[in-house]
Amino acid sequence: MVEIVQGDITAMKVDAIVNAANPSLLGGGGVDGAIHRAAGPRLKAECAMVGGCPTGSAKLTEGYDLPARFVIHAVGPVWRGGDAGEDELLASCYRNVLRLAQEHRIDSIAFPSISTGAYGFPIERACGIALSEIFRALDEGSRLKQIYCVCFSDADFEVYERILATFGE
């Protein structure tokens, strides 16, 4: 049900993929740039109408040219050393994505590793937060049937696999 995969999130055939966006929602580098390139210009047009998204929150749009029907744009925190509320903001990001998935009757979803690229959040700590929130939502009766965590690098994939194993214990 929760599966770690390695690759490009834009290729995922799921109801929704999650974007690691910035508060403008107008695109950027990393996974955000890849999603906008693959979805085509209509995505940016819809994002411009949404009018931004605060850190720790999430907004849903159509997926346009992507295989996924929806994109859920989540804005993670910039890492500032760990004492600036980063853990709670990242957890809030995942909770808001999971709430939107429930509201929009989404059965399958793919997450990138939010905040751990350009925003500098340490991968192990971010992964623990991501998996805790995902398993909490499942415990609380989320309708999600398939949840993928898509890792871009070998190193991130290994971290996710190792930390996922501790959740079954």
Q: Give the separation between CA 45 and CA 51, rounded to whole angstroms.
A: 10
| Angle value at C-alpha 149, between 147 and 152, nearest 5 degrees | 155
Rule CB under 6 A: which of 75-114 touch ligand AR6?
A: 76, 112-114
The dihedral through the CA atoms of 96, 98, 104, 109 has a sign that is positive
Please pick, from the candidates 3, 5, 13, 29, the single residue that binds ligand AR6 as defined by CB under 6 A: 29
Q: How many CB atoms lie within 10 A of CB 82?
A: 11
Tell me the backbone φ, ψ of residue 95, rounded to 5 degrees. Answer: -60, -40
Check residue 61 for interaction with ligand AR6 (CB under 6 A).
no
Check residue 10 for interaction with ligand AR6 (CB under 6 A).
yes
Q: Candidates 40-48, 90-98, 116-124, 129-137: pick the segment binding ligand AR6 (CB under 6 A).
A: 116-124
Which residues here bind ligand AR6, judged by CB under 6 A?
Answer: 8-10, 20-22, 28-32, 34, 76, 112-119, 150, 152-153, 156
Catalytic positions are 32
